[in-house]
Amino acid sequence: MGSRIFSLCIWFTVLLILNGSQAQPGFVSLDCGGTDDFTDELGLKWVPDSQMISGDIANISVANETRTQYMALRYFPADNRKYCYTLDVIPRNRYLVRATFLYGNFDKNNVYPKFDISLGTTHWATIVISDANTMEYQEVIFLAKEPSVSVCLSNATTGQPFISTLELRHFNGSIYMTDYENDFFMSVSARINFGAESDDPVRYPDDPFDRLWESDTIKKANYLVDVAAGTERVSTKMPIDVNTVNGEMPPQKAMQTAVVGRNGSLTYRLNLDGFPGFGWAFTYFAEIEDLDPSDSRKFRLFLPGAPEINKLVVNIQENAHGKYRLYEPGYFNLSLPFVLSFRFGKTSDSTMGPLLNAMEINRYVKRTEGSLDGPVISSLISHYGSSSWANEGGDPCLPVPWSWIRCDSDIRPRITSIKLSGLNLTGNIPSELTKLSGLIELWLDGNSLTGPIPDFSGCSDLQIIHLENNQLSGQLPSTLEGLANLKELYVQNNMLGGSVPSGLLDNGVILNYTGNVNLRKGESSRSRRKIIIGSSVGASALLLATIVSCILLQKGKKSSPKKGRVELNLPPQRFVSSLGDPATEAAHCFTLAELEEATKDFEKKVGSGGFGVVYYGKLKDGKEIAVKVLTNNSFQGKREFSNEVALLSRIHHRNLVQFLGFCQEDGKSILVYEFMHNGTLKEHLYGPQIPDRSINWIRRLEIAEDSAKGIEYLHTGCVPSIIHRDVKTSNILLDKNMRAKVSDFGLSKLAVDGASHVSSIVRGTVGYLDPEYYISQQLTDKSDVYSFGVILLELISGQEAISNEKFGVNCRNIVQWAKLHIESGDIQGIIDPALHNDYDIQSIWKIAEKALMCVQPHGSMRPSISEVIKEIQDAISIERGAEAVREGSSDDISRHSMHSSLHTGSMDLGASDHYLSIDESITKPTAR
Ligand SMILES: *[C@@H]1O[C@H](CO)[C@@H](O)[C@H](O)[C@H]1NC(C)=O
Ligand SMILES: *[C@@H]1O[C@H](CO)[C@@H](O)[C@H](O)[C@H]1NC(C)=O
Ligand SMILES: *[C@@H]1O[C@H](CO)[C@@H](O)[C@H](O)[C@H]1NC(C)=O
Ligand SMILES: *[C@@H]1O[C@H](CO)[C@@H](O)[C@H](O)[C@H]1NC(C)=O
Ligand SMILES: *[C@@H]1O[C@H](CO)[C@@H](O)[C@H](O)[C@H]1NC(C)=O
Ligand SMILES: *[C@@H]1O[C@H](CO)[C@@H](O)[C@H](O)[C@H]1NC(C)=O
């Protein structure tokens, strides 16, 4: 009760603060890129984002989108900066922030943007646009800790970051209070209105907090599929008692509709973005059907892998104490999968099937703490109110630093470099700078700073100080001598006086103090001694030696970011040696006689590929080899051949078939590789059916991971990078342990260094060929990603890339076929029967969805091979986890105990600093 009274007080304060400034108290609705204030058809008052000084405005026009806030957007340069909006909030209050993104091809580029957004310092979401006319949105619920919160866009990987609207909604209590809110945000994954009467979400003014209760009728991939037969939509006009003082329960309109399982079950499956993870999950029930007194409605929730949960029986009328009243059981901390399948099933003594009105699932996102220098730097910028550099917003270091700052990479970073050159700064050097204990470089040159140089002894790591071309006065402080790491000090063209501290002259600091009329060179203690001992010539020779050794030291020092200097940023040199005299380096030259003996005169043919026939061989030392005799026209000239060989000999990676040497004799061109005992992936997937050859799902995932790593090495580990151009199952070879290696790489041309693509004759294998490459002839690393996507589909389905019969009429291609099934939620329809249900469906979903991304028509929309690897690894860990459960070796589930306890949170004023790690806590259901 105390908490209610308290929140009431806060609420009145809020009203006082915000009254008059907004049509809806506690709401901020920013129309990014807009020009005028307006009120929309819902009654929400929108204001343009004129506080944002960065970025540009674009007007767009999207079919059937008439809302003013979606006619314009703001976009930002695709650089390594962040662009932040700052919203005023009240500490210790809870808010919803929603950001929306409608691309509308604003840049006339049709390159679908992909970038990150962060809330404060915490990564919030990666925005991936996949359709010009579809709006993407993200919502997050959080407890404010500071008087303001920033929403930042950064890290564009494709296109330019942009935003259509930014909305802030102030909660009133709230039902979203959790034990974890000091350390976690809640990212909204699903908020569903079941039995909805249109595709439009229920929101303001039905929901006083303008949450979006999404309609269950919307058609999108993997959203509420696998609906049980007998599911019926019901609705009522009767008022529903949502039993709430602060208005935060689902709105009546969402509760007036529901679905009922007439056959005894309600089932649904949907994807939960960002999961697997820990989440907050509540269901909302109200009896809205007229039941006979003799009827009863009792049911249980069944979640796969969580047998404990189905012990709880819901009896809506009994739990809610009557009809048309809300009952809201839920879990504050539940481990949920990426693909959530759930079922409500009636109990045997119930006459009616289950009923469901609404549901909410939020994912916990760990808050990242900000830079340790945050408070100092906010005090510093407060002196420079309107300057644009002082208004970049958010944390100085995270998720990316401000344009004039560099930070170290600690979890709580420190500022290492400040560059404020030529910005017309006036007044004294801000004393805050002396409190940045991690500072290494300071640039304040070319301003109009006056007054003395402060004491920098608190910045003991300082190496470089630029204060030249200001109007600084006073002396060069002797505290500068104490900076043990100081290497360069520039103070020329100021109004400094006195004498240069002798320590600075002695310590080999590069020092320029010309143009300070009253500043004299002091007497160096060491040179004085020298003068006593030797001649003045000796002294200057010593000085010269000092300067030279400094310059050498400078060169050897790790390069720190400095503007106006040329930085030699050499790419990593992973090749054994540079391109030069070919063939003579690491590549071993076999004689033809040697190879004839090893292969017993090319007796055993083990394969044939685009470039020639492969024979089995065994060298004298017992090493088994694969000998590839190239067809004559593969390589015209000797020179070309030796170039290719030189290249091959430099590529080494665990997941690439090892090249051992070559032979060019008698008009024959031969390449020698390590022998791979288990043949090609293709043989294993479709070869003559030997039962034990069929490979299980986890093995397939491992093969996918191995081969993706091989490709990743070609793309990112080689300089210049290499595009394989012929990625396919017959080019993935398996060793004794069934680990995969990629073969036939490097036989294609090197990708041209620096350019994003090279043009050459289209080459590749039908079924794996990137359609964009085929049309444009522009080859990029994304062409390999396309082919790899096809392999992923083959691994799931056990179907070849091209088939005349398997994929139905008018479809010869695995991509079209799989896409159709996956997008309609029917994954079972493509899973290889040879996998015998011995897999976790989630890991298959993960791979299936990534595979579809890989085979997107445009290269720019495909992920990089490194992103694909990450997804495969996630799938592997899901699968391993599931395997452990299947084998009964995990007690994870039995640990979750159930208490049907009432959640009695108290208004938390920062006293509850008991940190509870979500992973360790116990799942407890609750009903308020
Ligand atoms: C966008 O439209 C507004 C109002 O219609 C107009 O004032 C503005 O100049 C337009 N901006 C651009 C970039 O076209
Ligand atoms: C726009 O609305 C019209 C009429 O309601 C409809 O026929 C059309 O398919 C819609 N277009 C798009 C792109 O949604
Ligand atoms: C930027 O995005 C890429 C891929 O989307 C990711 O690998 C990288 O870590 C991100 N960088 C930052 C600073 O968040
Ligand atoms: C917020 O809560 C107070 C009482 O706790 C209530 O009077 C008020 O109507 C609520 N505000 C909204 C928007 O529901
Ligand atoms: C500095 O001031 C001068 C003169 O007032 C002005 O011309 C110049 O644009 C200013 N530079 C910056 C970076 O503000
Ligand atoms: C010192 O600064 C002056 C003025 O900027 C410049 O002309 C001179 O070359 C500098 N001397 C050294 C040794 O860098």
Domain locations in the chain as residue ranges:
22-172, 219-366, 374-545, 567-675, 694-887
Tokens at 789, concatenated: 């996507």
Q: Please report which confidence band the pLDDT of residue 631 belongs to, taking 50, 70 and 90 as the band edges.
A: confident
Residue 547 one-letter amino acid? I
Q: How far apart are CA 397 and CA 249, in angstroms?
A: 38
Average pLDDT over residues 582-597: 74
Whether the CB-CB separation of 497 and 519 falls below 8 Å is answered with yes
Least-confidence region, from 467-476, 539-548, 673-682, 796-805: 539-548
Residue 637 has a pLDDT of 58
CA 880 to chain centre: 23
> Tokens 């002082």, residue?
390
Residue 533 has a pLDDT of 29
Residue 634 has a pLDDT of 54
Residue 256 one-letter amino acid? Q
Distances (CA, A) of 283 to 250, 319, 330, 332: 10, 13, 6, 12
Whether the CB-CB separation of 106 and 159 falls below 8 Å is answered with no
Element (H, E) at 327: strand 326-327
716 lines ligand 3 (CB under 6 A): no
Residue 249's Cβ-count burial label (10 Å; 0-12, 13-18, 19+) is buried
Choosing from 79, 80, 124, 155 the residue with most ligand 3 atoms within 8 A of its CB, the one to mutate for a pocket test is 155
CA angle 907, 909, 913 (to 5 degrees): 105
Nearby residues of 150 by Cβ (< 8 Å), 6 or more positions away: 84, 85, 86, 87, 119, 120, 393, 394, 395
CATH number for the region 567-675 comes to 3.30.200.20
Q: How far apart are CA 315 and CA 89, in angstroms?
A: 40
Given a cut of 80, whether residue 330 has pLDDT beyond it is yes
Model pTM score: 0.64
Q: Please report which confidence band the pLDDT of residue 160 belongs to, taking 50, 70 and 90 as the band edges.
A: very high
CA 561 to chain centre: 26
Helices (H) and strands (E) in the chain, counts: 17, 48
Q: Report the DSSP pairing between strands 518-520 and 495-499.
A: parallel
Whether the CB-CB separation of 671 and 746 falls below 8 Å is answered with no
Residue 370 one-letter amino acid? G
Q: Please report which confidence band the pLDDT of residue 465 belongs to, taking 50, 70 and 90 as the band edges.
A: very high
Residue 319 has a pLDDT of 86
Residue 899's Cβ-count burial label (10 Å; 0-12, 13-18, 19+) is exposed
Q: Report the DSSP pairing between strands 925-927 and 329-336.
A: antiparallel
Whether the CB-CB separation of 142 and 65 falls below 8 Å is answered with no
What residues are paired with 27 via a beta bridge? 169
Q: How far apart are CA 72 and CA 60, in angstroms?
A: 6
Whether the CB-CB separation of 857 and 819 falls below 8 Å is answered with no
* CA end-to-end span of the chain: 14
Whether the CB-CB separation of 119 and 234 falls below 8 Å is answered with no
> Hey, what CATH topology would domain 374-545 get?
3.80.10
628 has binding-site annotation: yes
Ligand nearest to the CA of 55: 1
Residue 723 has a pLDDT of 87
Residue 688 has a pLDDT of 67
Q: How far apart are CA 336 and CA 282, in angstroms?
A: 13
Same fold, 219-366 and 694-887: no
246 CA to centre of ligand 4 in angstroms = 4
User: DSSP character for 308?
Assistant: G
> Hey, what CATH topology would domain 219-366 get?
Jelly Rolls (2.60.120)
- % helix, strand, coil for the chain, step of 5: 25, 25, 50
> Hey, what CATH topology would domain 694-887 get?
Transferase(Phosphotransferase); domain 1 (1.10.510)
Q: Which alpha helices (H) appear in 824-861, and where do they start and end? A: 841-854
Q: How far apart are CA 785 and CA 825, in angstroms?
A: 23
Q: Please report which confidence band the pLDDT of residue 219 belongs to, taking 50, 70 and 90 as the band edges.
A: confident
Given a cut of 50, whether residue 888 has pLDDT beyond it is yes
Residue 318 has a pLDDT of 87
Residue 522 has a pLDDT of 67
Phi, psi (deg, nearest 5) at residue 441: -130, 140
Q: Please report which confidence band the pLDDT of residue 921 belongs to, taking 50, 70 and 90 as the band edges.
A: very low
Whether the CB-CB separation of 765 and 708 falls below 8 Å is answered with no
Residue 230 has a pLDDT of 95
504 CA to centre of ligand 5 in angstroms = 34
Select the more confidently predicted residue: 641 or 616. 616
What residues are paired with 265 via a beta bridge? 345
Instruction: Out of 179, 183, 373, 726, pick the active-site residue.
Output: 726
Where does ligand 4 bind, in terms of residues with CB under 6 Å?
8, 11, 172, 208, 245-247
Q: Please report which confidence band the pLDDT of residue 912 belongs to, taking 50, 70 and 90 as the band edges.
A: very low
Q: Counting atoms of ligand 1 from 1, which one is nearest the CA of 72?
A: 1
CATH architecture of 22-172: Sandwich (2.60)
Least-confidence region, from 452-456, 680-684, 850-854: 680-684
CA 494 to chain centre: 48
Nearby residues of 677 by Cβ (< 8 Å), 6 or more positions away: 624, 734, 735, 736
Q: Counting atoms of ligand 3 from 1, which one is nearest the CA of 114?
A: 5
Choosing from 5, 10, 11, 210 the residue with most ligand 4 atoms within 8 A of its CB, the one to mutate for a pocket test is 11
In total, the chain counts a number of residues equal to: 928
Q: Counting atoms of ligand 4 from 1, which one is nearest the CA of 248?
A: 14
Q: DSSP characters for 504-567?
A: HHHTT-EEE-TT-TEEE----HHHHHHHHHS-HHHHHHHHHHHHHHHHHHHHHSPP---TTS--
927: nearest Cα among 896, 899, 900, 905: 900
Element (H, E) at 597: helix 592-598
Given a cut of 60, whether residue 892 has pLDDT beyond it is no
Given a cut of 50, whether residue 46 has pLDDT beyond it is yes
Tokens at 577, concatenated: 């040696």
Ligand nearest to the CA of 26: 4
**Would you call 241 a catalytic residue per the annotation?**
no
Packed helices 525-533 and 536-556: angle between N→C axes, nearest 10 degrees: 140
Tokens at 302, concatenated: 């069944």
Distances (CA, A) of 600 to 596, 659, 671: 6, 21, 16
Q: Of all residues in the chain, what percent carry a pLDDT higher than 70?
A: 81
Given a cut of 80, whether residue 520 has pLDDT beyond it is yes
Given a cut of 50, whether residue 900 has pLDDT beyond it is no
